[in-house]
Amino acid sequence: MRLGLLRRGLGQGLLGLAALTGLASVPAIAQTPSEGAATTVVVSGGGNRSLFKIALPKLLGDDATSASVVATESRDLTLSSLFQVLDPASFTANLAAEGSGIDPASWRNVGAEGVVKGSAFPRGSTVHLELNLFVVSRGADAVLKKSYDVPVGGVRGAVHQFDNEVVKWLTGTAGSFGTDLVFSATTGRGQKGIFEVGSDGEGVTRLQTVSNVALAPAIGPGGVYYSGGLPDGRYALFKVGNPVAVLQQAGLIFGVAFGAGKMALVVSQGGQSDIYVGNPDGTAMSKITQGGLNTHPAFGPAGQLAYVSNGGGGNPQIYVDGKRASWSGTYNMAPTWCNDPEGTKLVYMGRAGATWDIFSGDPGGGQASMKRLTQDQGSNTYPACSPDGRSVAFFSSRGGLYLMNNQGQNQQKIASVNGESLRWQ
């Protein structure tokens, strides 16, 4: 059934200091705007899922707000890998006569399965926005109606909320539009900063840090945490917005992860790095690895802990709770968890030949469960999975930050930035 669904009744750290400070050298962040709302769908791989055809006509009311709403809707739904947004030039419906409703036959004639209509009217410093989803096979009544009263600058945020509701109505699980990604990027010779960008590639922002060497951001209680260099050469754990280190430890703190009510910390000392696990405030920490290089911790949805280890001397591989979980690539790192509809997957970057690619697999599975999501498309690094599990973001040598679905399809550049240690909030 379309989208697998359509509602019932509707047919880190280091691995040697070089790994934490970049793959050889990471280009400085490009201070250029994202690609904008116009996006070409490129489907790679052999998927056979049919996309839901949706029309996004102009809203009633204010023209400028309507243009912003339609552009945001179009970009969200296209990036989701679930929809085919129809060309407005193909619309044959009499929009003036229809008003805020639809004539199902007119939209059926152009192949539309869904139509979003609405209105946008300024009210002083706010905008009253009404958005309605129509499913053509259901007739002239809207199946989803939402209204928002937001500041002028909050229109895009309201549209993201509505788009999440559209995806939820169709699939049962809301989308992740309007969320943010954080990453570390080179800002100058020997310097790194922490950046944030919207999940649609809009609004690249540098976050305030106390150090000009800020590494390995992670999402934790109340905000974004990172490893920051101190004047005496040590690295401590900081939180964005707090000028004082929230945790210092003997050795160098080179990474952190939060999940399942716990914190995992990467501490480098004496040429080795180990992972410690304890309470989110840094108390009751216990070492869970025994020497070698152990980095890039990431908690899974059931409290599992994935991390990278060289096993005391071998090539770095992904481990989950002490058991090896990666079987493709000669050098694997940067694991992230993805709530794939087919079950929880572990997604990571692996070196295959001279380049890096993105792989996924069952966290407890063997080599047969491994799937390569990128191939022969440059070097692709540092994956991060969306909260809804449908999308994977990653950096690519093709020129910036890319997004694809969790099967490796619909790869699209969303922003002209490069970096490392990507995390999805």
Tell me the pLDDT tens digit for each residue of 139-176: 999 999 999 999 999 999 999 999 999 999 999 999 99
In a 10 Å sphere around its CB, with 0-12 CB exposed, 13-18 middle and 19+ buried, how is residue 379 labelled? middle
Amino acid, single-letter form, for residue 205: T
The pair phi, psi for residue 409, each rounded to 5°, is -95, 165
Tell me the pLDDT tens digit for each residue of 302-339: 999 999 999 856 889 999 999 999 887 789 999 999 98
Mean pLDDT of 378-398: 96
How far, in Å, CA of 253 to CA of 223, rounded?
A: 18
- Tokens representing residue 389 in the block: 């599990």
Name the β-bridge partners of 132: 117, 145
- Tokens representing residue 85 in the block: 């947004």
Q: Are 347 and 383 contacting, i.e. CB atoms less than 8 angstroms apart? A: yes
- Please give the pLDDT value at position 54: 98
Please state, in angstroms and as integers, the Cα–Cα distance from residue 245 to each residue in 210, 211, 231, 329, 332, following that order. Answer: 9, 11, 13, 37, 30
- Tokens representing residue 136 in the block: 């053509």
- Please give the pLDDT value at position 29: 36
- Please give the pLDDT value at position 366: 77
- Please give the pLDDT value at position 353: 83
- Please give the pLDDT value at position 49: 59
Q: Are 90 and 106 contacting, i.e. CB atoms less than 8 angstroms apart? A: no
How far, in Å, CA of 274 to CA of 272, rounded?
A: 7
Please state, in angstroms and as integers, the Cα–Cα distance from residue 334 to each residue in 202, 293, 346, following that order. Answer: 24, 13, 10
- Please give the pLDDT value at position 31: 33
- Please give the pLDDT value at position 14: 29
Tell me the pLDDT tens digit for each residue of 206-264: 999 999 999 999 999 999 999 999 998 999 999 999 999 999 988 999 999 999 999 99
How far, in Å, CA of 295 to CA of 218, rounded?
A: 13
Sign of the dihedral defined by the CA atoms of residues 344, 390, 342, 367, in that order? negative
- Please give the pLDDT value at position 208: 96
CA-nearest of 303, 362, 317 to 338 is 362
How far, in Å, CA of 252 to CA of 271, rounded?
A: 11
In a 10 Å sphere around its CB, with 0-12 CB exposed, 13-18 middle and 19+ buried, how is residue 405 labelled? buried
Lowest mean pLDDT among 47-51, 188-192, 265-269, 396-400: 47-51
- Please give the pLDDT value at position 313: 67
Q: Are 383 and 394 contacting, i.e. CB atoms less than 8 angstroms apart? A: yes
How far, in Å, CA of 395 to CA of 184, rounded?
A: 12
Mean pLDDT of 392-405: 97
Mean pLDDT taken over the chain = 87
What's this model's pTM, rounded to 2 decimal places?
Answer: 0.87
Res. 123 pLDDT band, cuts 50 70 90: very high
- Please give the pLDDT value at position 26: 34
Q: Are 322 and 306 contacting, i.e. CB atoms less than 8 angstroms apart? A: no
